[in-house]
Chain A
């Protein structure tokens, strides 16, 4: 059977690989919500692959709220941490047995590795870091991602092989549960694997959780206009006092003004705060891709013609460092 016939027939399932050890990550919940919409739209079943250590009751309960039809469960105490090589081998075996049509993963560091290895093992296409997904009239998965260097987005398809694989940029989809619990069919999968080749000698958890950017009502963000690391630290201090998170553009991260985990935009994260305040940000398409879901965007920039102003609700033409000073003064009387 041709691939085009398979995708039209609706026999294959749409799969999501869950991420999370004892609870599902927020990214996974957004991805599950999107996959359910795609499954409904295409009239296909939705499958979920979960690597977990027992017990999985709480995750199971949560999954019933996302319209999951089949749960493919690998249960083992070894899954208290993610080993990309083991997961990609088990996933490859499972895919070969069940032939899902679509396979979606989170574009986190480890999700990307699992996806890249699995796609190569399966000899199929993989699109990195998608910001949107849809199904076209022929039943193919349309994978949308910003294209390089241009102000354009590209729609990518994988027309000659299944599964059609994509990793999805964290925060791309809104988490939405269904009103009624959905019955899940459990498929227990044999967790047979050889021990990990890579040895973890030490793990240092960083105190701050980057996920708080997702939940924030207000985000204060800085770009190249800040001009220095000191200026970013000042912005960060202000943000801390206002109890809001701080974010940075890739350019600012590359210049060393801000650490990587604060980066928003392509290969960073997507956020949807109520209020986004862009300080000294020019508005590269990669950055806009990460913030366009914000309810209100305020831009502060010296350049009247910076692209950020065509994507903002309110604009002030001034030096962002001066702006930060004014905020400090107004809130803390300094």
Chain B
């Protein structure tokens, strides 16, 4: 089975202090991390490769700094590595990004299974897997939280929806967007010593606008349908009354709860 995993390096927004324990910030890398859902997508690929014969290709689009992501993926056991990087790609919206990624996936495919994280921490759109699935003409299943069985022409997986869980059979080839923060697929594994050593000299294929045979009009801001018109600061501020005495504060809040419950 040929598996592609689309991954992205994202700024570590993890609100100062709170996540430091978990996603250790390497200041040398400029506080960039692999998008958590994409880590789970890679973990899913590695899990599949443990059960059936599979080759894992990792694609990442971003600046050359994203090489680190590919090295990390190599240390964990992925096989092939593609860095899609070009200043012309800057400002791409989800349509242009899907177009660029699916062009690369077509060039180095065909793949039986394309795995993505279901959304990135920075953009939070979750739209790229949808774009890729249309452009590669494959079915799409999002919010995948577990792999139940791998057959030669399908994968049985579990999916998390707002009000229900589903067990579904997805034909191959397909695009699957994997959900983070769930218990179905375990947390990303740790690299082996051998993997870490291998990662030091990993061959990375560099892809740019020219090598993907894309024109400038198809990528970046000009290749995007959506434009940011302006940004602004929302004013949601309120005047906070502090209860200087904690006892008084708690009892006032209790009164507020009781009063509200009566309405």
Interface residues of A (CB under 8 A from B): 84-85, 108-110, 112-113, 115-117, 119-121, 123-129, 142-143, 147-161, 197-206, 209-210, 217-218, 224, 242-244, 251, 253-256, 260-261, 266-267, 274-275, 277, 282, 284-285, 288-289, 292, 296-299, 309-318, 323, 326-327, 330-331
CB–CB A125/B232 < 8 A:
no
Are B234 and A157 interface neighbours, CB within 8 A? no
Given that A125-B226, A155-B230, A157-B226 are known contacts, is A313 also in contact with B168, CB under 8 Å in the complex?
A: no
Q: Is the Cβ of B240 less than 8 Å from the Cβ of A109? A: no
Tell me, in angstroms, the Cα distance from A121 to B126 when the chains sit together: 16
Query: How distant is B7 from chain A, measured CB to nearest CB, in Å?
Result: 18
Considering the complex, which residues of chain B in the window 122-160 have a beta carbon less than 8 Å from any beta carbon of chain A?
122-131, 133-135, 139-143, 156, 160
Q: Is the CB of A206 within 8 A of B164?
A: yes
Using A149-B122, A156-B228, A200-B168 as known contacts, say yes or no to A125 and B243 having CB atoms under 8 A apart: no
Query: Smallest CB–CB gap between A7 and chain B, Å?
Result: 14
Contact A157 B124 (CB under 8 A): no
Which 9 residue pairs are nearest across A and B when measured between Cβ atoms?
A116-B130, A125-B225, A128-B125, A120-B134, A316-B249, A125-B226, A292-B236, A202-B167, A199-B169
Q: Which of B76-84, B191-199, B254-262 contacts A (4 or more CB under 8 A)?
A: B254-262
Q: How many residues of B contact A (CB 8 A)?
A: 79
Q: Is B95 on the interface with A (CB-CB < 8 A)?
A: yes
Contact A149 B126 (CB under 8 A): no
- Smallest Cβ distance from B4 to chain A, in angstroms? 18
| B201 within 8 A of partner (CB) | no
CB of B94 within 8 A of chain A? yes
Q: In whole Å, how far is A236's beta carbon from the nearest beta carbon of chain B?
A: 16
Could you tell me the distance between the alpha carbons of A159 and B139 in the complex, rounded to whole angstroms? 30
Q: List B residues at the A interface (Cβ < 8 Å).
A: 11, 13-15, 18-19, 22, 36, 93-95, 98, 119, 121-131, 133-135, 139-143, 156, 160-171, 180-182, 224-234, 236-243, 246, 249-254, 256-257, 260-261, 263
Choice from A112, A124, A275, A282 contacting B18 with Cβ under 8 Å: A282
For B250, the closest partner residue in chain A by CB is A326
Question: A224: which B residues are within 8 A, CB to CB?
Answer: 18
Q: Give the docked Cα–Cα distance between A110 and B140 (Å).
A: 11
Q: Which residues of A contact B143 (CB under 8 A)?
A: 109
Chain B residues with CB below 8 A from A282, complex form: 15, 18
Contact of A296 (CB < 8 Å), options: B14, B162, B170, B256:
B256
> Across the interface, do B124 and A315 meet the contact criterion of CB distance under 8 Å?
no
The answer, among B95, B139, B231, B249, for a CB contact under 8 Å with A125, is B95
* Nearest CB of chain A from residue B263's CB, rounded to whole Å: 6
Evaluate contact between B260 and A274: CB separation under 8 angstroms.
yes
Q: Which residues of B contact A120 (CB under 8 A)?
A: 95, 98, 130-131, 134-135
Q: Tell which of A148, A150, A242, A256 has the most Cβ of chain B within 10 Å.
A: A148
Chain B nearest CB from A53 CB (Å) reads: 18
Q: What 15 additional pairs, Cβ within 8 angstroms, besides A113-B130, A310-B238, A316-B253? A: A112-B142, A120-B131, A123-B95, A127-B226, A128-B126, A148-B124, A199-B168, A202-B167, A274-B260, A284-B15, A296-B256, A299-B240, A310-B240, A313-B240, A314-B256
Tell me, rounded to whole Å, the shortest Cβ–Cβ distance linking A238 to chain B.
11
Q: Which of B128, B142, B229, B252 is in CB contact (< 8 Å) with A155?
A: B229
Interchain CB contact under 8 A, A260 and B181? yes
Most chain A C-beta atoms within 10 Å of own C-beta, residue among B131, B226, B236: B226
Chain B neighbourhood of A112, CB < 8 A: 126-127, 130, 142
